[in-house]
Amino acid sequence: MKQEQLTQVNREAAALAAELAAGKQAVYLEKEVSRRLERRVEQLQAVETHAATLQSQAADAGARAREAEASLAVSQETCSELRQQKAGLEAQLASMGQAKMLEQRITELQQAVFGADRPVAASGNSGGEGAS
């Protein structure tokens, strides 16, 4: 009887030992899964931090782009104004060139009519200025 009880206790001990080993294995696997999950959480937190940084950079880039667009609009307006001024100055220059040519022609005609020795008073030039 005692032998049977001892055998029964040994079987129960072996079953408990096997159950304990299985429990230890399960705990080990759970710890491994837990470590993997912790690493994954850390990776996700790093990704979230990077994403937040990228969003901030994108917002800054958007603000700079809006500033650049505003600056471009001002520059285009200034360029348009400068083109208009240039056209006006070119017209003045052409007019001044025509006036200079007319003065020279008047001087030439006066010299042809009155002679080269005579001073020319009508053109505003003194002496032989503008003479060809």
Q: Count how many Cα atoms sit within 13 Å of the Cα of residue 11 in the half-sphere of its side chain.
A: 6
- pLDDT(120) > 70: no
Mean pLDDT of the chain: 89
pLDDT at 115: 81
pLDDT at 125: 47
pLDDT at 103: 93
Measure the CA angle with vertex 129, ends 125 and 131; round to 5°.
Answer: 120
pLDDT at 31: 96
pLDDT at 118: 58
- pLDDT(129) > 50: no
- pLDDT(12) > 70: yes
Asked whether the beta carbons of 122 and 110 are under 8 A apart, the reply is: yes
- pLDDT(127) > 80: no
Evaluated on CA atoms 45, 47, 48, 52, the torsion sign reads positive
pLDDT band at residue 121 using 50, 70 and 90 as cut-offs: low
- pLDDT(28) > 60: yes
